[in-house]
Amino acid sequence: MTALGAYSKGVHEIAPRTFAYLQPDGSWGYSNAGLVVGNGSTLLVDTLFSIELTAEMLADLRREVQGLDSIEWLVNTHANGDHCYGNELVHGSTIVSSRSTAEDISHDDPAILQGALDNAETLGEVGSYFRHCFGSFDFNGVHITAPTLTFDGSLSLDVGGRLVELIELGPAHTSGDVVVHVPDVEVLYAGDLLFIGGTPIVWVGPIAHWIDACDAMVALNPKVVVPGHGPICDSAGIIQVRDYLEFVLEQSSRRLARGMDPWDAALDIELGSFSSWLDFERISVNVAMAYHELDATHWPAVSAIEGFTSMSRYLARNG
């Protein structure tokens, strides 16, 4: 069995008939996935950011997992493309997600992302940052394949005699974040509610609800946790992410009370031990979203383009 903290690319058996697929270094787009194997049935947790990456993962899984001929269930933990752009390659599966995630996926258009990459030089500083984040990926030929079975709250699946619990803990990172709990082996696939060794990013929030989601994951008492990005961990990893989120909310609240705007607040915050995490510039988005959470009347939510612009500026100042 693979030990906690493992982080080499490829297939890892983390419990009997229970696998993680890891993609170091866990920065933008390099996400993890998982596989649960029952008697005559399998469940895949997420696909990857491109057709090429997903095809490689499926080939590796079929080589490493004996008897893997087909995949009955595919669960998308949320709607970000690095967890669903390869859906079209998982032929014949029932694709499952929260209702909110399915709506978000159905409205996505990978051609917009590819167009931004192809024309990055016209976007100035933010274009350079966008290429820094996503320039390694090719979204040409990606066809959105949305979930066909949706739920609100929770859903239990029988995967060849194994109970798999899908639990909606969003909105947090996105509008419909779901975790996948396999109780017979005490394994949790957390999706992007967990970035281990990397900085979480709040696209939707509220942060307070994400903190509650961390508490809910800890309450499941998993022995092995597969984050959306980063190495395999246990509940200690969940607590680290919760600590960061509490830090962002508390530090933002202090500066809001002092009359600082979100940009100046983000620059003013000393990240301390969190400064060693990948993609620390996400603090600029997280503070802006914390301000929105604390005072929505005066501070609107951040759009994607605003978020990437602020991260680019922050990295230029502090990189």
Contact status, residue 46 vs residue 36, Cβ threshold 8 Å: no
Contact status, residue 202 vs residue 223, Cβ threshold 8 Å: no
**Beta strand pairing status for 224-229 and 187-195?**
parallel
Q: Which residues pair with 150 in a beta bridge?
A: 97
**Of residues 14, 3, 32, the one with CA closest to residue 182:** 14
Q: What tokens appear for 130 in the block?
A: 């966008």
Contact status, residue 85 vs residue 145, Cβ threshold 8 Å: no
Residues 52 and 48: their CA atoms lie apart, in Å, by: 9
Burial class (CB within 10 angstroms; exposed 0-12, middle 13-18, buried 19+) of 239: middle
Q: Give the model's pLDDT for residue 1.
A: 80
CA–CA distances in Å: residue 289 to residues 27, 239, 282, 286, 298 = 21, 21, 11, 5, 12
Burial 249-265 (b: 16+ CB within 10 A, else e): bebbbebbeeebebeeb
Tens digit of pLDDT at every position of the chain (319 positions): 888 888 999 999 999 999 999 999 999 999 999 999 999 999 999 999 999 999 999 999 999 998 898 899 999 999 999 999 999 999 999 999 999 999 999 999 999 999 999 998 887 888 899 999 999 999 999 999 999 999 999 999 999 999 999 999 999 999 999 999 999 999 999 999 999 999 999 999 999 999 999 999 999 999 999 999 999 999 999 999 999 999 999 999 999 999 999 999 999 999 999 999 999 999 999 999 999 999 999 999 999 989 999 999 999 998 7
Residues 46 and 175: their CA atoms lie apart, in Å, by: 16
Domain ranges of the chain: 10-318
Contact status, residue 23 vs residue 30, Cβ threshold 8 Å: yes
Q: In what order do the strands lie in the sheet with 73-75?
A: 10-15, 18-22, 33-37, 42-45, 73-75, 94-98, 149-151
Residues 269 and 283: their CA atoms lie apart, in Å, by: 9
CATH topology of domain 10-318: Metallo-beta-lactamase; Chain A (3.60.15)
Q: Give the model's pLDDT for residue 123.
A: 79
pTM comes to 0.97
